Amino acid sequence: METILTSNLCRLQTELRNSSLRKIAFIGQPGAGKSTALDNLTDECLQPRPGIGVSTDMTDWSVERDVTLYSSFKDFIFVDAPGYGTIRHPTDTYLRLFPFDLFDEIFVFLNGKLLDSDERLVQYARNQKRKITVVQTHAHRFSVLEQEIRHHDLRARLGVEDHQILYLENRTGSGIAELKSAVFGHGAANSV
d(CA 103, CA 113): 26
Among residues 177, 114, 180, which one has the least CA distance to residue 142?
114
Residues comprising the chain, all counted: 192
pLDDT per position as a tens digit, 143-192: 889 889 999 999 999 999 999 999 999 889 999 999 999 999 855 544 44
- pLDDT over threshold 90, residue 100: yes
Indicate the pTM of the whole model: 0.91
Among residues 171, 78, 162, 182, which one has the least CA distance to residue 69?
78
Strand pairing class (22-28; 105-110): parallel
CB contact burial 121-133 (16+ within 10 A = b; e otherwise): bbebbbeeebebb
